[in-house]
Chain A
Amino acid sequence: MKPPVLSDVVKGIRDLPSPAPVVMELIRSFEQEDISTHAVADKVSRDQALAAKTLRIANSSFYGLQRKVTTIPQAITVLGFDSVRTLIVSAGVLDAFAKNRNDAFDISAFWRHSIGTALCSKFLARALNLNQDQAFISGLLHDIGRLVLATCFAEHYAQVIAYRNTHDCFTQDAERAVLGFEHGMVGKTLSEHWKFPPLVQRAISDHHQPLTQDLGGITSVVHVADAIVHGLDLGGDEHDLVPPLSDAVWKSLQVAPGMLAVVFRETENEFEGACRVLGA
């Protein structure tokens, strides 16, 4: 079986179903300043499934709202446009991939790790005074390349997983050995195709090795959050392995033990609820 080459990956990504148009519009709007929240609220409200899911997340314990929000405009008023946009994009991307189930790849375990990383990135960002919404969306999508590979090249990806289990190595090493490239690059291609902002693109493509320019930034937060979530054992996979943690990245965030203990506990406490509302 001939392994896929990069051009196959690009073709595979083009053939994937995109998220709903309003979700794509919101992804592109991360870079725009003059977006009409009114028009967005209107479009999302018309997509009943998406609106319902967004409201379910907004009303979960995650935001600790005193009163339930019942409409999208109300959610925007209470939580702010940036948070609601993050919710809608999260729900929309999960839905786009939900249509592509395959038996060889445990998609539920995949999203559970992604949601754990999203939460942990958000709480780390809050402790470090970085943008929590960027951290959440970057954490949620950091491994999206893995999902693309498992969706578009299921048989090859089954070989990657078999290789990893036999050699007890990091998944990215198994990908390099079997495919010749790794999921960060695939995720980067997808995030360019879907026009995520450059900052999120870099968090996806470089989360295993953040660039110097991203030391202390969101990509670094995701790098550390990924390791923390594996270390918290949220996935419960017997063969799970904490990925390598870069000394330079770790130092750049200047995390204190007391602060991390709070991040650990918040991540654990919110984890099951967040998986439930996001449907993973």
Chain B
Amino acid sequence: MKRYKLLEPDEVEPGAVLFEEVRDAQGTVLLPAGTTLTEALLKSLRRRGVEALCIVNDEISEAELAAERERWKNRLAVLFRRCESDTAGKTLMQYLIDYRVGELR
């Protein structure tokens, strides 16, 4: 379960909101996160050959999100179970928790 959906431009309806920025193959940002897509913007993205868009998924309930956040925190504690004494490991684990929770906010 994710807070976003990955869709092809043809599958996206106008009014959908970008969960993350759109970049071209060179890594240049074409549209920032949070942009509400219009028919004109979608057309321009198709013309530039963009193949996938990361769209906000608004079909998940708050309770489902909270359960999923909790599941990830527990899972990351298991994955990092041998890194307790390891400063870098703990930092990476925290970044991953922030990333997962941020995706599920």
Q: Which of B51, B88, B99 is in CB contact (< 8 Å) with A61?
A: B51
Q: Does A242 contact B (CB under 8 A)?
A: yes
Instruction: Please give, as numbers and ranges, the residues of chain A lying within 8 Å of B88 by CB-CB distance.
Output: 245-247, 249-251
CB pair A64–B51 under 8 Å, yes or no, is: yes
Tell me, in angstroms, the Cα distance from A245 to B84 when the chains sit together: 11
CB pair A66–B48 under 8 Å, yes or no, is: yes
Q: Does A100 contact B (CB under 8 A)?
A: no
Instruction: Please give, as numbers and ranges, the residues of chain B lying within 8 Å of A261 by CB-CB distance.
Output: 95, 98-99, 102
Q: What is the minimal beta-carbon distance from A77 to any residue of chain B, in angstroms?
A: 15
CB pair B87–A228 under 8 Å, yes or no, is: no
Q: Mark A7-19, 1 if CB is under 8 A from B, else 0.
A: 0000000000000
| Interface members, chain B 53-83 (any A CB < 8 Å) | 54, 75-76, 79-83
Instruction: Please give, as numbers and ranges, the residues of chain A lying within 8 Å of B20 by CB-CB distance.
Output: 265
Select from chain A the residue with minimum beta-carbon distance to B6. A269
Known: A64-B24, A247-B86. A241 touches B91 (CB 8 A): no
Tell me, in angstroms, the Cα distance from A39 to B19 when the chains sit together: 45
Q: Does B32 contact A (CB under 8 A)?
A: no
Tell me, in angstroms, the Cα distance from A257 to B97 when the chains sit together: 11
Q: Does A244 contact B (CB under 8 A)?
A: yes
Instruction: Please give, as numbers and ranges, the residues of chain A lying within 8 Å of B79 by CB-CB distance.
Output: 230-231, 233, 240-242
CB pair A244–B24 under 8 Å, yes or no, is: no
Instruction: Please give, as numbers and ranges, the residues of chain B lying within 8 Å of A264 by CB-CB distance.
Output: 95-96, 99
Q: Give me the interface of B with A, judged by CB distance under 8 Å.
A: 6, 20, 24-25, 27, 48-52, 54, 75-76, 79-83, 86-89, 91-93, 95-96, 98-99, 102
Instruction: Please give, as numbers and ranges, the residues of chain A lying within 8 Å of B6 by CB-CB distance.
Output: 269
Tell me, in angstroms, the Cα distance from A57 to B37 when the chains sit together: 30
**What would 18 more interface pairs be, CB under 8 Å, given A227-B92, A242-B93, A265-B54?**
A64-B50, A66-B48, A126-B27, A168-B81, A231-B79, A233-B75, A240-B79, A242-B83, A245-B88, A245-B89, A247-B87, A250-B87, A251-B88, A260-B95, A261-B102, A264-B95, A264-B96, A264-B99
Instruction: Please give, as numbers and ranges, the residues of chain A lying within 8 Å of B81 by CB-CB distance.
Output: 168, 241
CB pair B95–A64 under 8 Å, yes or no, is: no
CB pair A241–B99 under 8 Å, yes or no, is: no
Tell me, in angstroms, the Cα distance from A61 to B9 when the chains sit together: 13
Q: What is the minimal beta-carbon distance from A238 to any residue of chain B, in angstroms?
A: 9
29 pairs from A and B in contact (CB 8 Å cutoff):
A61-B51, A64-B50, A66-B49, A170-B82, A227-B89, A231-B76, A231-B80, A231-B93, A231-B96, A232-B96, A242-B93, A244-B82, A244-B86, A245-B89, A246-B88, A247-B86, A247-B88, A250-B91, A257-B95, A257-B98, A260-B95, A260-B99, A261-B98, A261-B102, A264-B95, A264-B96, A265-B20, A265-B99, A269-B52
CB pair A241–B82 under 8 Å, yes or no, is: yes
CB pair A231–B27 under 8 Å, yes or no, is: no
CB pair A64–B25 under 8 Å, yes or no, is: yes
Q: Mark A100-136, 1 if CB is under 8 A from B, else 0.
A: 0000000000000000000000000010000000000
| Interface members, chain A 119-155 (any B CB < 8 Å) | 126
